[in-house]
Amino acid sequence: MTAPAPIEVRGLCKSYGELVAVDDVDLTVEAGDVFGYLGPNGAGKTTSLRMMLGLIVPSAGSVRLFGRDPQVSVKALAGVAGFVEAPSFYPYLNGRTNLDLFAALDGGDARERIVEALEIVGLSHRAKDKVGTYSHGMRQRLGIAASLLRRPRLLLLDEPATGLDPGGMRDMRDLIRNLSGQGMTVLLSSHLLTEVEELCNRVAIVREGRVAYQGSLAELRRQAGSGYLLRTTDDERARQVAEAQAGIGEVQIRAESGLTFSAESESAVGALSLALAESGTLALELSPRHATLEDLFFRLTEGEEAGAAPRPDRALEGAT
């Protein structure tokens, strides 16, 4: 029998009166994943994580953590740790004492792990300072240290890097990568794709409570499609040549300079560059141009307003 997945969410819904904050979410996080739960403000990320941690009751649907329902038994939370929004601490107590209090709640050998947890998150040197004097990034890291006291196999983090400066974001990524390297499964939410794209192997993109895409980042990038950028000595002439060329499509002049097009094959691109030269139009730049994940995220989360651009939300339907 295969072990149950760290997180299995099926048909999860949460409504507040008329407002549907989380709408029929299915999610599977496999052991070893660093899973990004991505969406803009108000997409329902925190609400989903609250339900996963058993902090609020779903309106419908189910959550299973390693096969157990956190609504039914606190046992489901054995080996699971994390925080939503921001971790809370006593500001007038130092970092170490705050962790002592968490350890007392957790019981077991949590206390013995405090020194190591502070070390892992890089806060040993500030452990004796009051938490009220910590920076935002230090508080986030102390929150992770508090989570580590439970020896989690699964860590759920709500926007751990939001509000951090670029250096703090990099440290947070390194920390999460390090924890993942030690065998921990991690689900983290974010509203920035760039923040998680190097870190996460799989993502779900949520929009208005619904999952618009779920799968690997590599697949998402592949489906985003690629095109080419061309700058020439005469872009208007180049457009005419490109439009007449077999295997070249979607030719568009860019407002800034140059044009973009899609190609059926690399040989079609080669043939185009030859045709351009023959027409006396010289290519100054010809390069593949991958849709950035931010572009895609924007298109996925803007939904119906995406206009004439390719509809990745439709294109991706088969991928989930």
Residues at the site binding ligand ATP, with contacts judged by CB under 6 A: 16, 19, 21, 39, 41-47, 191
Taking the least distance from each CB to ligand ATP, the nearer of 51 and 230 is 51
Taking the least distance from each CB to ligand ATP, the nearer of 21 and 77 is 21
In angstroms, what is the minimal distance from the CB of 9 to ligand ATP? Answer: 14
In angstroms, what is the minimal distance from the CB of 158 to Mg ion? Answer: 6
Helix (H) or strand (E) holding 46: helix 45-52
Strand-by-strand arrangement of the 60-65 sheet: 19-29, 7-16, 60-65
Taking the least distance from each CB to ligand ATP, the nearer of 36 and 95 is 36
Strand blocks (E) in 106-258: 154-157, 185-190, 202-207, 210-216, 226-232, 248-253
Tokens of 216: 């690997």
156 to 119, 207, 294: CA distances (angstroms) = 20, 20, 23
Helix (H) or strand (E) holding 312: helix 312-315
In angstroms, what is the minimal distance from the CB of 309 to ligand ATP? Answer: 24
In angstroms, what is the minimal distance from the CB of 54 to ligand ATP? Answer: 16
Phi, psi of 178 (to 5 degrees): -60, -45
Among ligand ATP, Mg ion, none, partner that 41 touches (CB below 5 to 8 angstroms by kind):
ligand ATP
Taking the least distance from each CB to Mg ion, the nearer of 45 and 113 is 45
Among ligand ATP, Mg ion, none, partner that 29 touches (CB below 5 to 8 angstroms by kind):
none
Among ligand ATP, Mg ion, none, partner that 39 touches (CB below 5 to 8 angstroms by kind):
ligand ATP
In angstroms, what is the minimal distance from the CB of 200 to ligand ATP? Answer: 17
Taking the least distance from each CB to Mg ion, the nearer of 192 and 271 is 192
CB 27 within 8 A of CB 7: yes
Q: Name the residue whose CB lies closest to Mg ion.
A: 46
Among Mg ion, ligand ATP, none, partner that 92 touches (CB below 5 to 8 angstroms by kind):
none
Other beta carbons less than 10 A from residue 93's beta carbon: 15
> Which residues lie near Mg ion (CB under 5 A)?
45-46
Nearest to 193 by CA among 171, 168, 213, 167: 213
In angstroms, what is the minimal distance from the CB of 191 to ligand ATP? Answer: 5
Taking the least distance from each CB to ligand ATP, the nearer of 45 and 96 is 45
CB 290 within 8 A of CB 221: yes
CB 200 within 8 A of CB 34: yes
Residues 6+ apart with CB under 8 A from 199: 34, 36, 173, 176, 177, 188
Taking the least distance from each CB to ligand ATP, the nearer of 43 and 241 is 43
Among Mg ion, ligand ATP, none, partner that 118 touches (CB below 5 to 8 angstroms by kind):
none
CB 169 within 8 A of CB 55: no
Among ligand ATP, Mg ion, none, partner that 43 touches (CB below 5 to 8 angstroms by kind):
ligand ATP
In angstroms, what is the minimal distance from the CB of 43 to ligand ATP? Answer: 4
Taking the least distance from each CB to Mg ion, the nearer of 45 and 150 is 45
Strand-by-strand arrangement of the 210-216 sheet: 80-83, 154-157, 185-190, 34-38, 202-207, 210-216
Among Mg ion, ligand ATP, none, partner that 215 touches (CB below 5 to 8 angstroms by kind):
none
In angstroms, what is the minimal distance from the CB of 21 to Mg ion? Answer: 10
Helix (H) or strand (E) holding 286: strand 283-290
